Amino acid sequence: MQPDAEFDAARLTRSLLRRSRQGALATLMAESGDPYCSLVNVASDYDGAPILLLSRLAIHTRNLLADPRVSLMLDERAPGDPLEGARIMVAGRAEPADDAARPSLRQRYLNTHPSADAFVDFTDFAFFRIAPRTVHLVAGFGRIVDLAPDRFLTDLTGAEALLAAEADAVAHMNADHRDAMYLYATRLLGAPDGDWRCSGCDPDGIDLQDGRQDGQQALRLDFPARVTDPVQLRAALKALAARARG
């Protein structure tokens, strides 16, 4: 079989990690070791690793606190036969967020799932970050690939300035540049009309979602080149806006 020159497994995996809003979380029952699967809401960290907000009363939380090994299935939720769409199985360890990491995980999760603001600070809820060990991608016939984390996670080396400014940058884009968000979604990504807004940015690109659907319709827009600070971010967004208007 000839290799598919147009198939970029790493890029598709990164896109699914950024665009997914729900997934099937598999844990091991604490008492018996039997497999247990549940539906969870998902966001992504700066590097693309999945973020979960879980109640400590839930069975899956008790399971992963006893054994942090988990797998998470994410799919495109495309119309038609769901088996024709791309999906990934992320295998790794679910790690509780420490006090230092919680503010950024909280902000990114709420950008993705704003309705969670009603319970995010309840004492029985906690953030977990899945540290991936591998990803199994299924994207159609002849497109089944296993990837190591260095193939699909975003490299954050040297991007400290961008990450520190990310929350303010997202707020600014949504307050003052919603017209650009709309153009990115409809003209560059071919999305339908919607209340498009930015839900996050990182060195590789920005995430967009339709506010009318509580973020369930999500998009990923890659930057033409890697950005590591706010100055480069402004330049990249300006160039994308010019392309969209042109």
How many CA atoms lie less than 13 Å away from 120 in the CB half-sphere? Answer: 19
Q: Which CATH architecture has domain 9-152?
A: Roll (2.30)
**Residue-level pLDDT at 215:** 56
**Residue-level pLDDT at 24:** 98
Provide CATH 2.30.110.10 ranges for the chain: 9-152
pLDDT tens track, the chain, 246 positions: 344 546 899 999 999 999 999 999 999 999 999 999 999 999 999 999 999 999 999 999 999 999 999 999 999 877 777 777 899 999 999 999 999 999 999 999 999 999 999 999 999 999 999 999 999 999 987 799 999 999 999 999 999 999 999 999 999 999 999 999 999 999 999 999 999 999 999 999 999 999 886 657 899 999 999 999 999 999 999 999 999 998
Which is nearest to 21 in space by CA: 38, 43, 54? 43
DSSP string, the chain: ----TT--HHHHHHHHHHH--EEEEEEE-TTT--EEEEEEE-EE-TTS-EEEEEETTSHHHHHHHH--EEEEEEE---SS-GGGS-EEEEEEEEEE--TTTHHHHHHHHHHH-GGGGGTTT-TTEEEEEEEEEEEEEE-STT-EEEE-HHHHSPP-TT-HHHHHHHHHHHHHHHHH-HHHHHHIIIIIS-PPS--EEEEEEETTEEEEEEGGGTT-SEEEEE-SS---SHHHHHHHHHHHHHHHH-
**Residue-level pLDDT at 2:** 41
**Residue-level pLDDT at 214:** 62
Residues 6+ apart with CB under 8 A from 31: none
Which is nearest to 177 in space by CA: 193, 196, 162, 203? 196
Write the CATH number of the domain with boundaries 160-245. Answer: 3.20.180.10
Residues 6+ apart with CB under 8 A from 159: 46, 202, 203, 227, 228, 229
**Residue-level pLDDT at 213:** 63
Q: In the structure encoding, which two tokens stand for residue 26, read together?
A: 């598999």
Q: How far apart are the first and last CA of the chain?
A: 40
Please give the single-letter amino acid code of residue 3: P
pTM of structure: 0.92
Say how far apart CA 170 and CA 187 lie, in whole Å: 20
Say how far apart CA 54 and CA 59 lie, in whole Å: 10
